[in-house]
Amino acid sequence: AQSVTQLGSHVSVSEGALVLLRCNYSSSVPPYLFWYVQYPNQGLQLLLKYTSAATLVKGINDFEAEFKKSETSFHLTKPSAHMSDAAEYFCAVSGYSGGYNKLIFGAGTRLAVHP
Amino acid sequence: NAGVTQTPKFRVLKTGQSMTLLCAQDMNHEYMYWYRQDPGMGLRLIHYSVGEGTTAKGEVPDGYNVSRLKKQNFLLGLESAAPSQTSVYFCASSYPTYAGENEQYFGPGTRLTVT
């Protein structure tokens, strides 16, 4: 069965600093992986997704993630944090359960950005 | 193209009252989902539907019922609300590919308080 672990429920960075949010997955088949962002009082928006094309995936707002099969990781990075990046971030993997495809979400990482 | 919409946005119920949350999507997606989001617990799947007229239980289905009479609509019902159902509810839709990719599109959420 597929699963996702996000390391660190809270991450705090200074404005301009590197953002690194960690995600490890477990999957018995080649995975489809996603990062979603949730801004305060809003729904989830797709940041980026890995669908077995390039291992380095670029998303919106200068975020990117690298798929590393050997490490079963899909960490999210951004070179320079902005105040507007403060949000909750969810990593997810597509998986089959009960015969149907579902998304399995991690518990989320809340990113705080300080001036 | 409105994407996924949810009504209402906010609701306060007394214990024992009933209500229905409505989700609508205009993307012709086959799959629809209801999640609840609680602090520190990420997103948990309540029920889902893989097509008009079909529904299935997710991770936390107790106390909820659903119906999918039309492809574009997915209703979530609470027959007798309990304080434990205080949460933010999100609807999502998707069109999974044969290969297993399952990018989901989310609504803005419904904040429900049961007193």
Contact B24, B92 (CB under 8 A): no
Taking an 8 Å cut-off on Cβ atoms, the answer to whether B106 and A100 are in contact is: no
| Sheet with strand B65-67: strands edge to edge | B4-7, B19-25, B73-78, B65-67
DSSP assignment of A40-59 equals: TTS-EEEEEEE-SS-SEEE-
The runs of H, that is alpha helices, within chain A are: none
A56 vs A89: CA distance, rounded Å: 18
A88-113 pLDDT tens trace: 999 999 877 667 778 889 999 999 99
A31-85 pLDDT tens trace: 889 999 999 988 999 999 998 778 899 999 999 999 999 999 999 999 999 999 9
How many Å separate Cα B21 from the centre of its chain? 8
What's residue B103's pLDDT? 87
Mean pLDDT of chain A: 91
Chain B residues with CB within 8 Å of chain A CB: 4, 31, 33, 40-43, 45, 48, 50, 56, 58, 90, 92, 94, 96, 99-109
A1-27 pLDDT tens trace: 778 999 999 999 999 999 999 999 988
Nearest to B35 by CA among B58, B15, B67: B58
A74 vs A68: CA distance, rounded Å: 6
What's residue A101's pLDDT? 77
By Cβ distance, the residue of B42, B48, B105 closest to A107 is B42
Which residues does chain A have within 8 Å of residue B41's beta carbon, measured at their own beta carbons? Answer: 107
Please tell me the distance in Å from B76's CA to the nearest CA on chain A.
17
- What are the residues facing B14 on neighbouring strands? none
What's residue A102's pLDDT? 82
What's residue B96's pLDDT? 78
- In this model, does residue B1 exceed pLDDT 80? no
B13-61 pLDDT tens trace: 999 999 999 999 999 999 999 999 998 788 999 999 999 999 999 989 9
